Amino acid sequence: MVIGLIQQSNTANVEENKQKLARNITDCAAKGAELVVLQELHNSLYFCQTEDVGLFDLAETIPGPSTAFYGDLAKKHGVVLVTSLFEKRAAGLYHNTAVVFEKDGSMAGRYRKMHIPDDPGFYEKFYFTPGDLGFEPIQTSVGRLGVLVCWDQWYPEAARLMAMAGAELLIYPTAIGWDPRDDADEKNRQQQAWITIQRSHAVANGLPVVSVNRVGHEADPSNSSEGIQFWGNSFVCGPQGEVLAHTSSDREENLIVTANIQRSEDVRRIWPFFRDRRIENYAGITRRFLND
């Protein structure tokens, strides 16, 4: 499978961001991509740095204007397209939702982000209701896609359940970066942890992983912090965690990667983790903590 990853910086102008994405999708398709993956909340700036009720105006219904826009692009270029949208389900009910489009422009499925962070600069619980669609892969013409979103990438349970449901690869649209006040050692620790946990999901489940992050500095509208420096480093790794390709930390890039989806079969034969799971002893995993 030839996969295109679009790592770009954004402005406050939604239409400009969408047109830039359209050009980048065109570029990926021209280079042979069958599957194109966009970063988290790619239409706008990462608006969760502050809590502002006015920003709910960025949300759209699904279907809506953005699904029509990206569906047309998927059909025009004959690609499967993974997008990340701010969904308005009803007044006062919003989700962080990945929508996957088939090559004919139809919606193949959607996934609503399950794990919602609430940290300085990442006030997502103010905006998003946790997902309610479960961990279900989305069937497409290029395979069964285990689409998760950003904060989900830290949870082995999410990756495992997607794999157990038949996902052929895991996909993580992402928006993660540094607090500019952190020193170089702390920045490196955070970035390496982010890469390592996702490579671990590939190893533990015998599946390729695709992770697409945004890049560039975005100011804090409240001026209470120095904003976020998104660290890029989008990458694809194979089913043994081997990094097939990655981008820089500071540039906009369209990365084209060929991943051998069929190799998962060979890897799982030599590392049969699913065979050796002791499911009769795992009941405690559904509890919050065991030493209460």
Domains of the chain: 2-271 (3.60.110.10)
Q: What is the pTM of this model?
A: 0.97
Please confirm, yes or no, whether 28 is among the known catalytic residues.
Answer: no
- Rounded to the nearest 5 percent, the helix, strand and coil shares of the chain are 35, 25, 40
Please confirm, yes or no, whether 18 is among the known catalytic residues.
Answer: no
The fraction of the chain above a pLDDT of 90, given in percent, is: 98
List of E strands, 149-224: 169-173, 177-178, 209-212, 215-218
Active-site position among 87, 150, 218, 237? 150
pLDDT bin (cut points 50, 70, 90) of residue 180 is confident
Distance from C-alpha of 210 to C-alpha of 188, rounded to nearest angstrom: 21
By DSSP bridging, strand 80-90 and strand 107-112 are: unpaired
Answer whether residue 252 shows pLDDT above 90: yes
Contact 32, 2 (CB under 8 A): yes
pLDDT bin (cut points 50, 70, 90) of residue 292 is confident
Active-site position among 20, 34, 40, 87? 40
Please confirm, yes or no, whether 40 is among the known catalytic residues.
Answer: yes
Question: Can you tell me the mean pLDDT for 176-194?
Answer: 95
Q: What is the pLDDT of residues 232-248, one digit of tens each?
A: 999 999 999 999 999 99
**What is the structure's pLDDT at 279?**
96
**What is the structure's pLDDT at 69?**
98
